[in-house]
Amino acid sequence: MKFFADENIDKPIVETLRKSGYTVLYVLEMEPGIADEQVITRANKDEVLKMLLTRFKEKKVAQVEGYNKFGYIRETNNAVIVSRESGKDTHIPFLKIKLAIEAVRKDQQVYNGGPNRLRMHGITHVNSPIWAILHLAELKEILE
pLDDT 10s digits, 16-54: 988 998 777 777 777 777 776 666 666 666 788 999 999
Distance CA 124, CA 12 (A): 41
Domain extent listing, the chain: 1-34, 35-143
Q: Quick one: pLDDT at residue 96? A: 94
Note if the pTM is more than 0.85. no
SS3 37: helix
Instruction: Please give the average pLDDT of every successive group of 10 residues along the chain, which has 144 residues.
Output: 78 89 77 70 76 96 95 94 92 93 93 94 93 96 87
